[in-house]
Chains A and B, each alone.
Chain A
Amino acid sequence: MNNGIPKISIVTAHGRRELTARPGELLVDTLRSSGVPWSATSIYGVRSEGGKTELISGLGKPIEEFSEFDELFLYFNRNVNPFLFSIDGFNETGPEKPGEHETEFFYQVMQNEEGSATTTLAKLSPDDCLDIIAKRVEDVVNEHVEPNSTIVVGVSGGGDSNAMLYGLSKAAEAGLKIRPIIVKGIPDWDAGVPRAQELCKNYGLDLTILEESDIRELMGIPSDGLSLVERFEREFVGDDFEFLGTLMIRIALSKYAEKIGTEYICTGLNLEDVVCEQMFRMSSGMKPAGMPARKIGEKTLIMPLWMCPKRIIDGCFPKFSLDNYEARYPCFSLGRNLYYSVVYNIQSTFPNYIETMAKGLSKIAAEDPVEYNYDAGLGVHVERFVPMHLRQRFIKMLGSSIQ
């Protein structure tokens, strides 16, 4: 007992450890700040030294409410060591190429023989980040794109596009031909056009701009003054435009790829994006979808950044990143919030584990690919049955005029 706060110990099969509790905090917060999952513990209290051990409750109680106890024992209900992968006590390394505006990234290396994990906080200069992105992009291009092919690349003008174009431009030195394209139609996208033009100019690439009228034509949307966002929000209240936006970009890239006679299209899906998608799929009883290459109809969607964490992508061009964050619009879909939150929490608690997950899921997907069939009524490739009411609402959203 110390100032009315009992001594708190976590008891595991590997040994005990005293936890530090701050006055006023809840017991669950003490666990959280110590890196102990609350769901794996049972609470026992001892009122005086040598006294009886009592099973008690109180995860949601302030520490002071346990003042009648001399000591609390939080028994860990599994025989694993909850601190084995803790990122406390990390080494530091880098940067390899000194530069301003370093970003940081935790790496964790497993040593199965020793039964240990080594954590390192790497400091990465923009040049280090660019080298990493270029190498990861090169890996994907070498393995999944036929030599000397042409690839249609969706760009937005933000930091992600910039990093991806940098990586692809390195692959272009080995023969890959890049056709960047930007889609207009919503204010955020339109605002990115001057930056995308500048980027492409820097990489010596010709940017194709697809106007809103082109998108409307591709998707059969009337040109009646009602914006794409307004159409979406009117029919699908409280949902996120990202879902329709993603489809619009893929349709635009596919049509352009068809026009120039290539099968490859690509977007800037990063590590967290691809794992988030697979989290949703697994939770919904669906097999993993292909990554970093996915056959959709006649086209193959390439994901050059699938092994690139967003933090390292943002580290390539730090000045672009702030603009990107400032331009963020809130996402309200519960599911999208859930799956991204799960992914970021796993990644932050177990650095580099989601990479392993992504690789494993990619292997399963390659062995048993998802088949996407063209739905003539909707004009898109789909994997599963589209319920009639959703089909009707989607068609209504695309085709309805101002009331």
Chain B
Amino acid sequence: MIHTKTNASQSSNFDLKAKYVDLHSHNAGKTMTVSELEGLRADATSVPASKHGLEVICGASCETGAQ
């Protein structure tokens, strides 16, 4: 299915595929200590599929948003 994006922001993002950009996730903020990192690793909470957790509502057909 092909969607035509009309929103201005989505439209500009639509053109990204024609541009050379830095695709890496940049490490920002302060560097964490070993103890902080280890605490987060052991806590191991899962990342929601949608940023706002919409799979709770929309997920019966596919929790990870495939159409």
Contact = CB atoms under 8 A, between A and B. Distances in A.
A94 B23 contact: no
Contacts of A94: 33-34
Interface in B26-41: 26-29, 31-35, 37-38, 40-41
Contact of B23 (A81, A93, A110, A115): A81
A84 B24 CA distance: 5
Interface string A58-100: 0000000000000000000000011111101111111110000
A94 B35 CA distance: 9
Contacts of B40: 107, 109, 352
Interface string A1-36: 000000001011111111000000000000000000
A116 B37 contact: no
A367 to B, nearest CB: 16
A81 B31 CA distance: 24
Contacts of B33: 93-94, 96
B42 A83 contact: no
B59 interface: no
B47 interface: yes
A360 B29 CA distance: 29
B12 to A, nearest CB: 12
Contacts of A116: 25-26, 28
A309 to B, nearest CB: 9
Given A84-B25, A88-B24, A120 B37 contact: yes
Main secondary structure of the interface of A (DSSP, over half): mixed
A109 B17 contact: no
Given A13-B16, A16-B17, A93-B31, A107 B41 contact: yes
Contacts of A305: none
Contacts of B26: 89, 116
A12 B45 contact: no
A18 B24 contact: no
Contacts of A115: 51
A122 interface: yes
A18 B20 contact: yes
A356 B48 CA distance: 12
A16 B17 CA distance: 6
A169 interface: no
Interface string A290-308: 0000000000000000010
A358 interface: yes
Interface string A339-369: 0000000000000100110111000000000
Given A115-B51, A118-B29, A358 B23 contact: no
Nearest to B25: A116
B47 A86 contact: no
A139 B25 contact: no
A59 to B, nearest CB: 21
B20 A12 contact: no
Given A15-B21, A94-B34, A116-B26, A352 B51 contact: no
A88 B21 CA distance: 16
Interface of A: 9, 11-18, 81-86, 88-96, 107, 109-110, 112-113, 115-120, 122, 124, 128, 132, 135-136, 139, 307, 352, 355-356, 358-360
Closest 3 CB pairs of A and B: A15-B21, A83-B23, A355-B44
Given A95-B34, A139-B42, 6 more contacts: A15-B16, A92-B31, A107-B40, A117-B25, A122-B34, A128-B34
